[in-house]
Amino acid sequence: MEQISTDVLIIGAGAAGLVCALELEGLDVCVVAKAPLGEGSSSAWAQGGIAAAMGEDDHPEHHLKDTLDVGVELSCKDAARVITHEGPELIEALIQWGMNFDRCDVGKLRLGREAAHSFRRILHANGDSTGKELMRALGQALMRTPQINVLENCHAYELIVENARVKGAFAKDALGNDLQITAGAVVMATGGVGGLFGYTTNPQTACGEGLAMAARAGARLADMEFVQFHPTAIDVGIKPMPLATEALRGEGAELLDSRGVRFMPAIHDDAELAPRDVVARAIWRRTKAGEKVYLDATKAVGAAFPDRFPTVWGYCRNSGLDPREEAIPVTPAAHYHMGGIDVDLDGRSSLFGLWAVGEAACTGVHGANRLASNSLLEAIVFGRRVAKDILMKNYKDPIYTDPQPTSSGTRDLSQPLADLLYKACGVERSESGLYEALAQIVDWQDQKGSFTPSFANKLIVAKMIIVSALERRESRGGHFRNDYPQTDPKQARRHKITLRETDAFIRGLNLGTDIQGAEKSCQKPA
């Protein structure tokens, strides 16, 4: 097994991981990327933009209020204050790294508006190509930094833990060779869980493996039940699903039912710009009933589509649609995970030597529902904060023994798992559906040693999402229970859990392994 030693190991190469790497001046950094740099992360696919209070009439306090309002009483106010108040400074840093934001004719930053924002504060690049431009700028800055070593097409699958300290990770390189990467500090930046779901706007690499690695090592996770489903994934049979950015609705695009009737004004005062969970449920209920739902931007954008929204334009044209003249068929799809590895305001996890950043982390900023375009903002702000914390601690390589990775098999059931999760843990959930899915996962996990490391990790994350969803007997933000449709003020608290606690919960159930009999064989916990 080849051994690599570095000061800091960053697992994941999205915006959060790259910002962190660039800020670790003076340290040797190894970045593990599942795909070629810039291609395998959700950051590169982001269309909506980056939210920051850059307007003359705006203020970070206004941005903070909007963030907390959408979080449905679960957002960590201190963490939300961090991103909203430090955000403008990080926008300037991105410009220094070479990012080209869209500007007005007079040279000022062009600011857009999206759902639940009270001001125009969304910065875009090349219209709806913000993530792509962000990753281009960060990638080029990375290439100019010699102390950063990027291992592309490399898959980390298990953390190295010794004496209750994280000291590196096991990985496989592009040729399938085993690697043991040891480091004084490890940063988990592996992204979210969207790739676990049958309908998703995320790359398949965003499947929660970093969360599973941390959980198996003993880390505490938080808010796992809160998965945000983007209302307007383009429904043309492509997987992962192309995204019709929320900025279209910000410019006046309307949602129509199969009869061509606009329905959102009757559901929420903000109509198409209502919080994402509200819009997603409104669309989901129509699609579940067999209706088609369409996003009509023919009047709001019309002939300007190719220039204003080139990414969506390309997706539509490749599918035979002309959004200048036709409405776009849409449906909800898994888009963002508010949960993740529980961290403090410096990105430190509950395990010594392990930090987490970006969508893999749960800072508490988003609470039960993320405010549009706050994800890239959180990634860059906390990317810098994690780097500063590591630099202050001056971590260097400790001395290691010779640990060995857990053995595993070759089977992979990712597609059946994706279908199972979307059905049971999608836009709307119920106790019976969650128990049924849990029964199947337990059945699969009983087949020990037969699955690939990647699929074994997916099962862990899926199990923790389902158990967290079962324990929250209410509806709040991205988590909606048909059997508990109301928000319960008594449950206005964050849910933190370890893998050990998850397994103890399952052992406390009278849980059968036959999916068809799951409802009958499951004993509801007290």
User: Between the CA of residue 455 and those of 177, 207, 410, 443, 452, what are the distances in Å?
Assistant: 19, 9, 9, 14, 5
| Residues belonging to the active site | 276
Sign of the alpha-carbon torsion through 472, 475, 481, 482: positive
Phi and psi angles of residue 462, each rounded to the nearest 5 degrees, phi first: -60, -45
- Measured distance CA(93)–CA(391) in Å, rounded: 18
CA distances from 289 to 82, 257, 283 (A): 42, 11, 10
Phi-psi region of 455 (alpha: psi -120 to 50; beta: other; left: phi over 0): alpha
Structure tokens at 180: 């043991």
| Nearest partner of 256 among 264, 248, 246, judged by Cα | 264
What is the C-alpha to C-alpha distance for residues 363 and 382, in angstroms, rounded to an integer? Answer: 9
Alpha-carbon distance of 203 to 372, in angstroms, equals 19
H/E stretch holding 335 reads: strand 328-337
E strand or H helix at 85:
helix 77-96
DSSP state for residue 34 in the 8-state scheme: S
DSSP state of 524: P
Q: Which two tokens stand for residue 182?
A: 């040891």
Report the C-alpha gap between 479 and 308 in whole angstroms.
Answer: 33
- At residue 228, φ and ψ (nearest 5 deg) are -90, 130
For residues 252 and 262, give the distance between their C-alpha atoms in angstroms, rounded to a whole number. 12
Which secondary-structure segment (H or E) carries 433?
Answer: helix 431-445
